[in-house]
Amino acid sequence: MSLLVNSNTIGAGAEEARGHSGGGALREIYDVNAQVVSVAVVPGEVYRAKLVAPEIARSARPLQFVNVEVSQGPHPFLRRPFSLSWFSAAEGLIEITWAVVGEGSKIMTQWETGTEVRVLGPLGNGFSLKDIKGEALQNADRPRLWLVGGGTGLLPMYPLAKEAASQGWEVALFYGARSMAQVMDTSRFVKAGCRVIVATEDGTYGSRGRVTDLLEPVIPELGHEDVIVACGPVPMLRSVKNLMALSAAPLYVSLESRMACGTGLCKGCAVRAAGDEEKYYHVCSDGPVFRADQVELGGAP
């Protein structure tokens, strides 16, 4: 089954909030039975599964996500959102990678090759470098993309990193985890041509500290030829936003929130617009990527 959605009509202000022109056209969303072709526990204490979903793989963009029906029974009732950590239109495959945090993600650990799962997607507007306006970027010899990922916030970044590197962008990934056990494999980023710098809070892998400690020293270097995309827990995003306050480089944040429908209908994933107490965006349909200056990320870090 497929349905057509228009990002401008689902989420008023979507274009404005994202600060780029990715939406507007009709997008197709598919609700499919996807078969699991591989599933494994991978470094970082996460599970990774590839599923056959040609329709979703064909129309997916970096930083989009899918809503997964984790149980065919009545509980848990709601589907769970997971980013596309990889997809291949040519192979008709999508990949999701997840940390076990509660009932739904635990049920998913029982998947095996051949399991069929109901999946809705691709959801959200995603983010593509083609969407970013700006003369400086268009004219840059080698524009730079700086990815800042905290915890599972690393997961949606790979399709974007790959797209950017293949288009001649210089790509650096700053990635932070709590400890070595939670450090996920970044070798696919390295293979794609990205520079990867890792920090752990306890110093057991990479440098000791938070991912924002990695970012801070490079901020004075950043200018109009740079784009920063951050994904991770809200306190991390807030710190990145604060650090970048005086920088000329645009900062985009990819948000997570509790979700139900994933398509803009239930209004359950609202985030407040910056500077306007009465205006809200919806993470699933206006986002999940927003210009950082358009959304309220709360007070001091």
Ligand X SMILES: Cc1cc2nc3c(=O)[nH]c(=O)nc-3n(C[C@H](O)[C@H](O)[C@H](O)COP(=O)(O)OP(=O)(O)OC[C@H]3O[C@@H](n4cnc5c(N)ncnc54)[C@H](O)[C@@H]3O)c2cc1C
| Contact set with ligand X (CB under 6 A) | 65, 76, 80-83, 85, 97-99, 101-105, 152, 155, 256-259, 288
Cα separation, 278 vs 265, whole angstroms: 19
Cβ proximity to ligand X, 99 vs 270, nearer residue: 99
Cβ proximity to ligand X, 63 vs 199, nearer residue: 63
Q: Least distance in Å: CB of 90 to ligand FES? A: 30
Q: Least distance in Å: CB of 124 to ligand X? A: 6
Indicate the residue type of 77.
F
Q: Least distance in Å: CB of 286 to ligand FES? A: 9
Half-sphere exposure of 73 (CA within 13 A, CB side): 4
Cβ proximity to ligand FES, 140 vs 260, nearer residue: 260
Quickly list H helices, 94-233.
103-107, 135-139, 157-166, 187-191, 211-215
By CB under 6 A, what part of segment 250-269 binds ligand FES?
A: 259-262, 264-269
Q: Least distance in Å: CB of 79 to ligand FES? A: 10
Cα separation, 292 vs 70, whole angstroms: 32
Q: Least distance in Å: CB of 99 to ligand FES? A: 20
Q: Decide if residue 121 touches ligand FES (CB under 6 A).
A: no
The item of ligand X, ligand FES, none sharing an interface with residue 104, based on CB under 5 to 8 Å by kind, is ligand X
Cα separation, 198 vs 148, whole angstroms: 10
Neighbours of 139 (CB within 10 A): 10
Cβ proximity to ligand X, 222 vs 236, nearer residue: 236
The item of ligand FES, ligand X, none sharing an interface with residue 98, based on CB under 5 to 8 Å by kind, is ligand X
Cβ-proximal residue to ligand X, closest one: 102
Cα separation, 167 vs 89, whole angstroms: 18
Are the C-beta atoms of 233 and 210 separated by less than 8 Å?
Answer: no
Bond from prior residue into 122 cis (ω within 30 degrees of 0): yes
